[in-house]
Structure 1
Amino acid sequence: MRTPRRALLLVLPLLMAIGLLSAPAAAAPPAVQTGPFSTPTPGPDGRIIYIMQEGDTLWTVAALAGITLEELMALNGIQASDAGFIPPGTELQLGLAGPVVATQPPGATPTPTGPLPTPTAISGTGEICVLLFRDDNGDARWAETEPALAGGQLSVADVNGTVVGEWTTDGSTELDLNDVAIGHCFTDLQFGDYNVSAGVPPDHNPTTTMNIGVRIEPGETKYVAFGAQPSGASAGGSGGERSTLLGLLGVVLILAAGGLAFYASRFNRGRSRLLR
């Protein structure tokens, strides 16, 4: 009995030694940065930026930068749920410094800055060409077959109501290169807004609005056209149509009366036969 027990006592230490030798070495704890922490240089915008390294945590970065963890998270908009998942290479703002000021080399003198150029005011003149035409078809649009009217009044006034030009039409007109009727042109009008109006000749009715606002740019030409019809044109046409309608109505009434008379005579004849 003693021999097996002794053998067991000899084997157990041997097995324990073999187990210790075959066990893997324990993983060494991650290295912690113990060296001096150099504060990053502020950028041109004054921000102090630190780039996360392998093994860094927000707590260690905040402690080495001399700020609290809450301040570091607030500067970078980090939520508490994301504090443990900041990968290496992430830029963290540690604070703000004054903007970087470029220094001049010794002995250099600053070059004085000249006065800024004064904005040039807009200047120049334009013109407005106004046509008063006889609107034969009444469509309020000028056609090549519609002549200019004489005896009308044209005027141009600025935004203050001051009349800067007047003209009595003489019935003459001409076309520009784009076949646009020119009429009378008011020239040398300064840049700005104007009101153009027209008065029709006697015994005429306007077919368009008789005043319009126009804005003139330097070197620009604007074209305005006003239309009018002789007063008797529309009245004569409506009178002729009315006479025709009345004539047709009279014929219808005469035919209707004749029909009634014929029917009445036939009715009376039939009645007299029945009485016999």
Structure 2
Amino acid sequence: MPTPRRWELAAACFAWGLSGLAGAGPAAAGSAAQPGQSVGLPVGAQIPHGLYLITAANFGVRDTAPGVTPLNVNTVTLAWATPWNVLGGRVQLFAGAPYSAVAPQKGAWQSGFGQPLLAGQLAWDLGGDVGFSYLLGGYFPSRTGFTTQAPSLTHRFALSYVGNDWNVTGHLFYGHFLGDRPPPGVATYPDYMNLDLTATRKFGKWQVGAVAFASTDLPTGVAGYRSQGQVAVGGLVGYNFGPVNLQAFVTRDVIDRHYGGRDTRAWLRAVIPLYQDKQEAAPGRTLVTREQSR
């Protein structure tokens, strides 16, 4: 199928990895994958063979009266798009870890490493500019007190349309915590579902469009636990500089449930190819598709 430009495909690979690396929610809530980290990317599409480095950062403030709660999340991910196929799907592998900082109610800043993630993905070309992918990954325990600490599995399903310079993508996360969980009153780690949505279009080296995401805790069976959830919307701008691609977007909660206030957040990504298969790269254009040089 005609594929999106190469930087988008590489970034899609990283979205699977880095979007689960944050582990930056407060210990009272559950999502090990920071909601919204994959928006703007064609996560369901296959990516060209190669080795990539992604750096990503976001900073936001939640209006938790009487004060506010700022949160910063930074991730570094190494991703390998292998030359192998399994069951007709391209194999991608990921490893990385986040570093986060939070200042509850304008209190003293706390910072530390969150949960590292190891994951593998299969991505299928369905034809007609449509791709589908599935990822299975595992989060390792963390000793940073304000992040999620318990080990968990993450399952992720993505469907992307990438024809005619469009990227229309839905990306569903399901997270399941493993082993013994903290006793009631210490922390509650509910299983969770997140949904990231993208509708963007390319204009030359530029990419613009709308993004949105939603998240919800699943039932815990813990008496008195107030399930958290949110819906956020925003806009995205991206630019392909050649060997490095940047994306920036801003999101704002329009619905929040038991978070104590709504969050406004700015995000920035940079995708850096360390190695790419020359047969898949167009001459002189590091970040384009295998088949097109327009």
Give the TM-score, by structure 1 length. Answer: 0.23
Structure 1 or 2, whichever has the larger Rg, is 1
Give the TM-score, by structure 2 length. Answer: 0.22
Question: Would you tell me which structure has more helix in proportion to its own residues?
Answer: 1
Question: Would you tell me which structure has more strand in proportion to its own residues?
Answer: 2
